[in-house]
Structure 1
Amino acid sequence: MSDLLNDLYTAFGETFTMVSISALCAVLLGLPLGVAIYVTDRHLFWQNRVLNLISTVLVNVIRSVPFVILLVLLLPLTQWLLGNTIGPVAASVPMSVAAIAFYARMADAALREVDSGIVEAAEAFGASPLRIIFTVLLPEALAGLLRGLTITLVSLIGYSAMAGIVGGGGVGDLAIRFGYYRYETNVMVVTVCALVVLVQVVQMAGDWLAKRADKRERRS
């Protein structure tokens, strides 16, 4: 039992590494991409149909590829960036690409929920586009952005389990190598329960933060 707990502790550390790196990339790159998709759409201050089409198609193409296939497709990129394709850091490369595209769409959807009248009022007062983005759009969409990030984190936990297929490690790798291949049912049950608990904690924390950030609930 102690060996299983030690293996589970190590596997959770690897999962945390993969999810943390991917989530950071999603926020740093996926959020700006989502904002770009939104503000370059029609009837907005930085309208650019060509840029909007390119970014939208890129996001949709990445999201349409099953993650298991994306893992294999991006092995050359991972090898070029890191010099190897094994381990949680290597697995975080395809996970980051998937997370950036996924969260960009989540961010775009959250921004579209912002009342257009607020944006128009800011424009009427002569606010610059950057000022509107940072003082109007992002604060008003914060609750939706947090909900989108929560969904992204939950998806990344699932992706990290699949990353074990290509040597990424993590809880999923532990379940496959020890639980499935060695027919150790107890290992499979423990890892599944651990993943369920982890997802529930992430979901509850995300919902709590989003509820506190939701201005519509505070106004009511």
Structure 2
Amino acid sequence: MAILDPIYASPLSVQLIPRVDQNLAGRLNLRPEQHSIGLITADNDDATYVSIDHATKMADVEVVYARSFYAGARHSSGLLSGEILAILAGPNPEEVSAGLAAAVEYLKNDALWYAANADATIMFFPHLISQTGSYLSKISNIPPGSPVAYLVAPPMEGIVALDKALKAAAVSIASLTMPPSETNYMGVILTGDQPACKAAAMAFQDMVLEVASKPMKY
């Protein structure tokens, strides 16, 4: 593997419940019109978060649950657990199935991580979203349809690169996850116009690569 080679996420299990039991619906705080749910586990949490947000733009679904698992995919509780469980809810099986299909397609083809060194022991996620769906908009407290840079890296690389990104473009922090997170990465969602988000993501990428190549610099 070479530096900046893409690293693809994989769905591990995708399940549809056409008509969810009312006890479970209550626990998930479903609205009365939400009768069906779809569940996804995958081997990468942040790739899944952006994928389920994409699903909300492609079908009449809402993300009603999404949580990362502790210690990441390499220490999961089972073969199909991965490092995240996400649940979509919708009015009928057809809409939820469409949402699941959109999420899986995006997860497998668009939500790309990259290697920051030759053996991919350092990986990062410099992801651009031109228009947020309902999920990322809600958790970031920004209007739906906002451009964002969704940036993730290991703690040292990520914090230094975040500072660089903020100085490189007219962006602001909409959401920040400081380490330690469940998977021990740091993550940030930056908001601004599309050119600014792109410039911030590029600056973030450049600094992650610099820290990876020069870990002792002081």
TM-score if structure 2 supplies the norm length? 0.28
- Higher share of residues assigned helix: 1
TM-score if structure 1 supplies the norm length? 0.28
Larger RCO: 1 or 2 (CA < 8 Å, sep 6+): 1
- Higher share of residues assigned strand: 2
